[in-house]
Every structure is written in structure tokens, then in C-alpha cells.
Structure 1
Amino acid sequence: MSGKSYRFQRTISSTAEHCCVPLCAASSKYNSALSFHTFPKDFETRRKWISAIRRDHFAVSPHTRVCSRHFTSEDVREPLSATARRLLRKGAVPALFEWNNFSLPLSRQAGVMERRERKERPVEEQDTSCEEAAGVTHDHDYAAAPGPLVDLALDENKARRSEIDQLRKQVQTLNLKQRFGIHRFAGSDRDIRFFTRFGSYDLLIRFWTQIEPAVPSMIRVTQAQRGNFTEPTFPACDLADRYGVHQSTVSRIITTWSNFLYTVLGSVRIWIPEEKIRENLPTEFKDYADTTVILDCTELRCQCPTSPLLQSEVYSAYKSNCTLKGLLGVAPHGAVTFISPLYAGSISDKQITRESGILSLLKPGMAIMVDRGFLVDDFVPCKIYRPAFLSGRSQMSASEVRETQAIARVRVHVERLIRRVKEHKFFETEIPLRLFGNINQLYSVACLLTNYENGPLVKSWSKKPE
């Protein structure tokens, strides 16, 4: 078929068929010498056609055609009559394309002698008498070394190649800078803390080393399961733009990882035995050496319900807002050792201490440290360190003032830990009502992560004794 030439002349036809092969402009509307063939129904033969055509993301339809100029003459069966159609041999595959110059190597038939080209004689053996008689002179020596112009061209090519390599490196560097990922901020602890809440890149990698063995067992939230989970509130559009994904994908990833971290971190026992606490007791607690845990409550702003009854449940007189309230326990050396569920903001500190489950962990030989509002002396089975208050008196004694100041100095880090929890961007805005179904899970993960994200709560405690 490659030896024929076709004139593009308009034909009279009600329909027009076009060839789907790249770089081929054949159409039945302008060429009646070609035939246009549909893709075979046989799966294997059809696959060979698609592979031979070399089109990306190619979808074959009943109207897709390949013209006869892409088949060899052996594959095309000419019609026996003028009204018949040209057909293809069974199993025929298109093989003549623009990229192989519409030709195939000819195969030698069996029994036919192969013609060999005659070797030319060396130059010194050739007869040059005819050339001399005709006055032909050799004005150029093709065996001579290249001149200075060729050398300049080679040098220019090397310079261009070096320039291209430099531009390629610049593009790779630019792509690396534009790519948003954790390795981009590996050299800046400040950026690592801003984007991950971890104190340093080293802390982040150590945490990842601990949870990585459990990652293969992670249950991923799919699009079909998305309706069974509540989407968290966070700047999803910002994350979607940074990573180049859809906002729903960001929501599914956050939900998947919150479920995973809640399972992995929640399986670790965080309540520390008394002897371990004494081994790591800071020197600031020498006057309160039997302290096992420091308790305090925290409140998170939430959306105001439309129901007046629910409004009264979640309204906090202390915050003058609708809140959710939880009890946190911190060991003297700064680790979170107790996390209660979140309750409606109207609950008192006394009631939340009763219902949180902390009483089952306390023993008579222990001591807890609380704020003034924790009036739990009548049901807590252990000693209580609490700042003194006036109780109708005009002023406190000097010893009470000193004790109040001493307790305030050592329990200040529980407030710093609560601040670290609230630094998570999830708690920067009020919690919507639709998140109440899994707010305890997200809150627990935020609290548990503080045990891995940062160093000591008080810098002086990190100094080694001289």
C-alpha cells in the first residue's frame, strides 16, 4: 500500500469516515481509493491494534476506523466486484505508519538466491585515467582533519549542552521548593513546629518510627464510607491547595489518621505508677514529693445549639459561652497521664471529677494537686494539695501565702500543657455541633500527641544538675 499515491478529491457520500491513526488525515469524504475498517471483535487482535496505533487514553467506539493505507498488501483482500467491499485478512494488524515511513522490511522468500553487492576496489587500484582525461580534479580531501569551523561548532554544542544541564537543575530545584512536603522544612524546627506541632524534625521522625509498624493495618476511609464519619473543621481548602488534591480527599485523610492515631496511641497505658513518678520527680516538687498527678479542667468553645434546653446544658458561666469541658491529669514531670471525656460546659469541677473515672486510679498513699475550685475533699481517697483561699477572712496568713505561691509555681505547667493542646488548629475556632459524634476521639488524640511533640514544659527542668 505504501507505493500508491492518493489524490484528495471530494467524493459524493452521505457519511464520512476518518482514520484514527495519529498523523493520518485520511477521510472517506476526500478519498474513494481507501477503505476504512472497524476494530476487530476478538479481544487479543483488538489489543494488538490499539498497541500498534500508539494513542494515549484511547477509547474505541463502534465508529472508530483505521484506513487501508496502514495495512500491507498481504493483509488486504481486494473485492471481487465493483460493488463489493475491501476486507482484511483474519488476524491482520496495522503496521504501516508515519513513524516507520509507511514501509516494512521485505522478507526474502525461501529458495530465492540473495543478491550481494559487489565490493568496490580500493582507491589505489581504481583506474583514474578517465578522470584525468576528462580533466576532473579533486578539490577537497575528505580524509583530512576537520577545520576550525567544525571545532567551533563542537565547542558551541558543548556549551549549549552545559547550559541545558544547568537549566534542568534549576527546574528541579524550583520544583523541589514548590513541592509542599515535610522534607522541605527538615532544616527549620520553627517551620516543623508550625506545620506539625512537633518541637523538632528529630522528634517527628522518632514518633514516626514508633507508629510506622502499625501503618499497614490502618483502615482507610473511602468515598463510600465517608457518610459514616464526621468531617473535622480545619482549613481544608488551604491543605487541598498546598497538596493539589480535592477538599474531600483532605477530609478523608484527616479522618483516617485520627482513627488510626486514636487506636494506636490509645492502646498505650499513660497512667504512670508511683515509683516511676518518684524516679523522675523534678527538684521543684521536693516539698510535694508524694504528688502523683496534677488535675485541672479545660473548656473548648462550641457552637450554640438552637434548642434552649441544650443551650442551658452547654453554657458555661465561667466562660460566658457555650463550651465542652474536660478533665486533664499531668504527672509532675509534665507527661499527660489522664484524659477524661468531654462533658457539657455547665458541669462543675466536682461533678466531672466524680464521673471521669480518675477516682479508680487514686490510692490513699498518693497525693493530687488541684486548683481552688476543686472542692473534692469529701470523696477523694488521697491527700490534696490546693492553694488556700480566704473563706470569709479578710486576709491570709504569711504561711498560707507562701504555700499558695509555691503550689502555683509547680502547677503552672499543667496550664502550659492545656495551652499546647489548644494550639492545635482544630481548636482555634468553635466546634460545630455536627462534630459532637467524634469530638472525644479528636480531643484525645490532640492530648496524647503532646507527650510526643515537645520537650519539657519548664525549660529549667531540662537542665542537668551540676
Structure 2
Amino acid sequence: MPQCAAYGCRTGPGQGKKLHHFPRERSRRRLWEQKVKRKNWVASDFSLLCEDHFDETQYERARADGLRKLKPNAVPTQFTFTPRPLERCTRCCKRRDQPCLGRKEHVQLDHSYCSTECPTSPKVKTDIKDGLTDNVCTDGAVSGDTASGDKQLNISKNQCVEELRAEVARLRRQMEENAVNSRFCLERFSASDEDIQFYTRFASHAHFIAFWRQIEPAANKMVQVTRPCCIGLTNQVPHAASAMILQPVDEFFLFMNYLSLGLKLKGLAQRFRVPRSAVSRIVNTWADFLYAVLGAVGIWMDEETVRAHLPDVFQDYSDTQIILDCVGLRCQKRRSLLLQSEVLSSRKSHCTFKGLIGLAPHGAVTFVSSLYEGAISDKGILKQSGIVPLLNPSMAVMVDEGFLVGDCLPCRVHIPSFPSKRTPLSGSEVIKTHVERLIRRVKEHKIFSTVIPLSLTASINQLYTVACLLVNYEHGPLVKA
């Protein structure tokens, strides 16, 4: 059965009182709903209010039959609301030495039940500071010392604010650490030189950052390779205008992962959480960029500089200007037999690319040639590499026993003999070990220890040259002072 919608009123049909429907007009119905003061309640077409909630002035004159009718603009005004019972301020009684620091739940609490040591009262003010809104009791101690209570209140409030600030700072640091640890980036491994050496071949994080600072100004003008149209031609857009998924230093870190570990593009995409196409663009872009930047640095040394850094083990070969050796990179077989014959090495019986590399006796890379087909001979690669014009008769070149190019050079050629018997290391054996360590530094880039796919044919020369030139920056001196 319908009843009166007023709070606490149980008037219904058959009790001798007139029940009035809520107005159909929306504005007047909302006004009646506000007067009823029921939280989250909306009147319907069947909601009723009894005549007890209307003043006599809201009715028209009684008709002859004794019935009364509400005026068109009548508004209910007669309501009795039972106040919400007050609760005891448990926080104040729990800590009597501090004023009430309650917030919303303490605004309407009755402090009359608190002990005499509770320095609070029903007077409340709102303090807004540093983005925090606290409802704080401000009447001071009940003992009557208002100034002392206000002072104690301010001290407690300041302590609360400082604790909240410290907690916010701690949570912010924790969130930043979690964000860094969840991403595969340079900052994640900045505290471990061992990890930096594993992923980038740089000796330490300091070495990596020092090299990055040298190339960072030029990296802002980098041109990004977007899509190869044909061999030697690319569509290029400014790197700064492209959609930067990673930071520039993290892009360089990704490129060094590619060189050092020889990972597939899909593996790098999963590690760095970027699309595979983005990894391909980053690798091609940084290969071209470093090839241009590092290639512009003169690495050839004059005779005086080489002799000034000559190790003691080379005293018997003090005129050695450079140590030459060929580096072979195994590549994937091609379908065409004609093309396959061009890269087939007769010595190693598989398809290879060959390049000439020159190192100073103290360990610096001073010459890097382009890559050639594996079918080319040692003499052919020596003539085409461009190193012959850099040599003069006062210099000497050191080569391995199988590198027979003495008649092609305008200078002396040293071929140390390496005894087969296991005797204490002679000078020749020390030199051999020294040369092997030099070549090993270049081949530590794992991308060259795997079979190079045909898809990298267009950029393998840039990758090889960059890997050789980076040896001068990645490691410390080969021979310690």
C-alpha cells in the first residue's frame, strides 16, 4: 500500500488524512524532492505526501462539500527530521596527548563524552595546505589554555604533513625504480659494469657514457631510414620528426645489443617492447649514422706516434707500423650459382665476405677496408683496400705466415716464426698471442660469429666497419703501462 514519502511518516490510505501526489511538472517535483530531504531518492508518479506536511496557507478555500485542494504553487514545508545520533570521539580518547586530527568521519562526533584531557571541542575548521584538506578541532585544551592548545595543534599538524611528504617521496621513488626495472634500457644496468660489458662490449658504464657524450650532439641531427626502395637508395626523414619510441641513448643501447650479442630482430623487439619494424629502422639508422660519424675520424697514425706507444715485446721489430690480417665473415648461400661463385671461398669452402683490418702494435685499429667477395685473393684485397699509398719504405708491416703479399708492398714485411715446441714463451710467441688478442676484440661482436643472412647484404659493410672502429672506444689499452 502507498504511504507518505516523508521520512518517519507512516500515513497511508484509510487513516482519514488527505494524500497528495507529487506534481507532474519537473521543476516543481524537484522542489518537493528537496524539501523531503531523502538521500539519493527520486519521486515517481505514484509517490505521495500527506496533508500534515503542508501549511494551511497552501490550501485553497474549502468547497461546499468540505474537500480541500492544494494551490497550484503549493510547497510542503512541515517536516520533522530526527538528528543523527552522535558517536564518541574514539581517536581523541585513544591518544589523549594529541588534539583531534580526525577528518571527515570526525566532523560530527560528539566530544562531550571525551575525557577532560582531550584538548578538543565541536568547533571545526578546514585547513588546506600542500593539497591536503584536514578537518581539525581548534578550540585548544579543555583546561582553558587556548594558546597552548593551538601551539600543540600546529606542532601535531606539521608532524602529520612531514610524515605524509616523506611517505609520498618514498612511494614516488619506489614507483620510479619499478618502472626502470620493468624496462630493458641502459639505466637498468647502469650500476653493473659487468652487464654493460656483456651487452655492449664497452669496458664499463663510464666508457659507454663518455662515448655517448661525444656523439650526442650529432645524434640530434640524425636522419632515420624508413624504407629501402632499392640498393643504395632510401627514403629518409629527420630523426627528430619521427615517432620516438625509445630515447636516443636507449636506441644506441639497442644497436650495441644487436652487434654484441647477435640477436634476432624479434628477440630485441621483445626485450625492448617495441615493434619489430621499429627495431629494423633503429639498426639501419644507427649503422649509417655511426658509419658516417666514426668514418670521419682519422685513425691512421704517423710513425712517431706509433713508436711512442710501441710495446716492449716489439723492440726487435721497432719499425713495425701496422699489423695486417684478413677477417672472414660467413654469409648465407645464394640461389644463383653465379652469385654464389663470387662469394665462395676456396680456402674455407663456404660463402664468405672478406675484409682487411690493420692494427697498431699497441692495440689501436688504424685501418679498416670495405668488405669484398670471398673469392678474392689476399693480394687482390690488399691492392683494392687503399692501404698501399699510406706506406713508405721507412715503415714495416707485420703479417701472418699465410699472408703472402710481400711483393705488393713498398716496405719491409715481418713474418715472425712461431716455434712448435712447448718452450718458455719466446718473443715471437708473445707477438702471436698479442695479434690474436687484437683480432679477437673485433670478433667479440657476436653478429660476425653467425651466418650473415642475405637481408643484411646491403648494410653488412656499415655494420662491419662500425664494429671495427668501436674497438678503439670499447676497451682499455691492450698493453698496460
TM range (shorter): 0.5 to 0.7
2:266 is matched with 237
Indicate whether 1:437 and 2:458 are aligned. Answer: yes
Indicate whether 1:367 and 2:396 are aligned. Answer: yes
Partner-residue secondary structure (3-state), 2:407: coil
Q: Give the residue type in structure 2 aligned to 1:311.
A: Q
2:405 is matched with 376
1:349 is matched with 378
Find the aligned partners of 1:250 and 1:397 in 2 and give their Cα distance: 48
2:78 is matched with none
Contact 1:364 1:381 in 2 (8 A): yes
Contact 1:349 1:373 in 2 (8 A): no
Find the aligned partners of 2:300 and 2:187 in 1 and give their Cα distance: 34
1:312 is matched with 341
Q: How does 1:28-427 map to 2 (within 5 A)?
A: 142=122, 145=140, 166-222=170-226, 228=233, 234-388=263-417, 405-427=426-448
User: Number of residues paired by the alignment?
Assistant: 316
Compared CA separation, residues 280 and 387, structure 1 to 2 (3 A): closer
Indicate whether 1:4 and 2:27 are aligned. Answer: yes
Q: Identical aligned pairs, as a percentage? A: 50
Q: Give the residue type in structure 2 aligned to 1:431.
A: I
Superposed CA deviations along residues 342-372 of structure 1, whole A, max 9, x for unmatched, are 1122222222222222211111111000011
Find the aligned partners of 1:383 and 1:339 in 2 and give their Cα distance: 20
1:156 deviation in Å?
9.9
Superposed CA deviations along residues 428-466 of structure 1, whole A, max 9, x for unmatched, are 421122322232111111111111111123xxx213xxx
1:6 deviation in Å?
8.7
Find the aligned partners of 1:165 and 1:437 in 2 and give their Cα distance: 51
Contact 2:180 2:187 in 1 (8 A): no
Compared CA separation, residues 166 and 366, structure 1 to 2 (3 A): closer
**Structure 1: where are the runs of 5+ without partners?**
8-137, 390-395
- Aligned-residue Cα RMSD (Å) equals 3.8
Partner-residue secondary structure (3-state), 1:368: strand
Find the aligned partners of 2:211 and 2:173 in 1 and give their Cα distance: 33
Contact 2:227 2:234 in 1 (8 A): no
Find the aligned partners of 2:189 and 2:324 in 1 and give their Cα distance: 36
Indicate whether 1:462 and 2:480 are aligned. Answer: yes
Superposed CA deviations along residues 247-299 of structure 1, whole A, max 9, x for unmatched, are 11111112111111111110111111111111111111111100000011111
1:408 deviation in Å?
3.9
1:452 is matched with 473
The answer to which of 426-435 and 197-206 deviates more is 426-435
Per the normalisation by structure 2, the TM-score is: 0.58
Contact 1:229 1:255 in 2 (8 A): no
Contact 1:239 1:250 in 2 (8 A): yes
Superposed CA deviations along residues 10-37 of structure 1, whole A, max 9, x for unmatched, are xxxxxxxxxxxxxxxxxxxxxxxxxxxx
Compared CA separation, residues 211 and 291, structure 1 to 2 (3 A): same
Partner-residue secondary structure (3-state), 1:318: coil
Compared CA separation, residues 263 and 157, structure 1 to 2 (3 A): closer
Partner-residue secondary structure (3-state), 1:199: coil
Partner-residue secondary structure (3-state), 1:448: helix
Superposed CA deviations along residues 24-66 of structure 1, whole A, max 9, x for unmatched, are xxxxxxxxxxxxxxxxxxxxxxxxxxxxxxxxxxxxxxxxxxx
2:240 is matched with none
Compared CA separation, residues 200 and 5, structure 1 to 2 (3 A): farther
Find the aligned partners of 1:306 and 1:426 in 2 and give their Cα distance: 23
1:243 deviation in Å?
2.6
Find the aligned partners of 1:359 and 1:193 in 2 and give their Cα distance: 35
Superposed CA deviations along residues 173-194 of structure 1, whole A, max 9, x for unmatched, are 2222223322222221111111
Compared CA separation, residues 456 and 425, structure 1 to 2 (3 A): same
Compared CA separation, residues 347 and 203, structure 1 to 2 (3 A): same
Contact 2:357 2:367 in 1 (8 A): yes
Partner-residue secondary structure (3-state), 2:329: strand
**Structure 2: where are the runs of 5+ without partners?**
1-25, 31-110, 114-120, 124-138, 143-152, 236-254
Find the aligned partners of 2:387 and 2:447 in 1 and give their Cα distance: 26
Q: Give the residue type in structure 1 aligned to 2:177.
A: T
Contact 1:297 1:327 in 2 (8 A): yes
Find the aligned partners of 2:455 and 2:170 in 1 and give their Cα distance: 53
Partner-residue secondary structure (3-state), 2:224: coil
Find the aligned partners of 2:193 and 2:420 in 1 and give their Cα distance: 47
Partner-residue secondary structure (3-state), 1:237: helix
1:158 deviation in Å?
9.1
Contact 1:189 1:199 in 2 (8 A): yes
Per the normalisation by structure 1, the TM-score is: 0.59
Find the aligned partners of 2:299 and 2:333 in 1 and give their Cα distance: 33
1:388 deviation in Å?
4.3
